Amino acid sequence: MNHAKSVHDRSTCQAVRRVVMCLAVAWVLWITPATAQDQATVSRCPGQPQIPVTFQIDCSHIKDAATQQACRPFIQNQACKVFPAYRKITGIHLEDTCPSIKFTIYEEDNWPHPQGEGGLALRCAVDYLSKYSLQVKTDPKIGPYDVHELLHEYHLALGGLPDAHVLFSSSMAEARREMGDTEQYERAMKIMKAEVQRLGEDLRVGKIKGADQCKLARTEVEESLYLENSRNASMFYLKLGPDKSRSQADREARFSRMFYAVSGDKPEVKQLLMDHGCSRF
176: nearest Cα among 89, 51, 101 = 89
Task: Assess whether 168 and 277 both reside in one domain.
Answer: yes
Domain that residue 258 falls in: 160-281
pTM: 0.84
- The residue-averaged pLDDT of 264-275 equals 96
Q: How do beta strands 39-44 and 125-129 pair?
A: unpaired
Question: Would you say residue 280 lies in a domain?
Answer: yes
Residue 24 resides in a domain: no
Closest-CA residue to 153 (of 111, 191, 194, 119)? 119
> Per-residue confidence at 8, pLDDT binned at 50, 70, 90?
very low
Residues 42 and 137 in one domain: yes
Are residue 134 and residue 228 in the same domain, yes or no? no
Dihedral angle at the C-alpha atoms of 163, 165, 169, 173, nearest 10 degrees? 150
Whether 165 and 253 map to the same domain: the answer is yes
One domain for residues 176 and 147? no
Residue 96 inside a domain? The answer is yes
84 vs 95: CA distance, rounded Å: 12
Rg of the chain taking only CA atoms, in angstroms: 26
Residue 241 located in a structural domain: yes
Boundary (domain end) residue, out of 143, 158, 173: 158
In this prediction, residues 116-121 reach a mean pLDDT of 91
Q: Please give the pLDDT value at position 21.
A: 43
65 in a structural domain: yes
212 and 130 fall within a common domain = no
**Gap between the Cα atoms of 189 and 256, Å rounded:** 23
Q: Is the pLDDT of residue 1 over 60?
A: no
Q: Over 80: is that where the pLDDT of 200 sits?
A: yes
Residues 217 and 274 in one domain: yes
* Closest C-alpha to 58, from 76, 77, 75, 81: 75
Q: Are residues 149 and 88 in the same domain?
A: yes
State which of 140, 158, 176 marks the end of a domain.
158
Task: Give the pLDDT score at 37.
Answer: 65
User: Are 118 and 185 in the same domain?
Assistant: no
Give the phi and the psi of residue 111 in degrees, each rounded to 5. Answer: -65, 125
* pLDDT per position as a tens digit, 226-265: 999 999 999 999 999 889 889 999 999 999 999 999 999 9
Q: What are phi and psi of 106, to 5 degrees?
A: -125, 165
Q: What percent of the chain has pLDDT over 90?
A: 79
Asked whether residue 29 is assigned to any structural domain, the reply reads no
Decide if pLDDT at 142 tops 70: yes
Q: Give the tens place of pLDDT for each residue, 95-106.
A: 999 999 999 999
Number of domains in the chain: 2
Give the angle 93-96-101 at the CA atoms, nearest 5°. 90
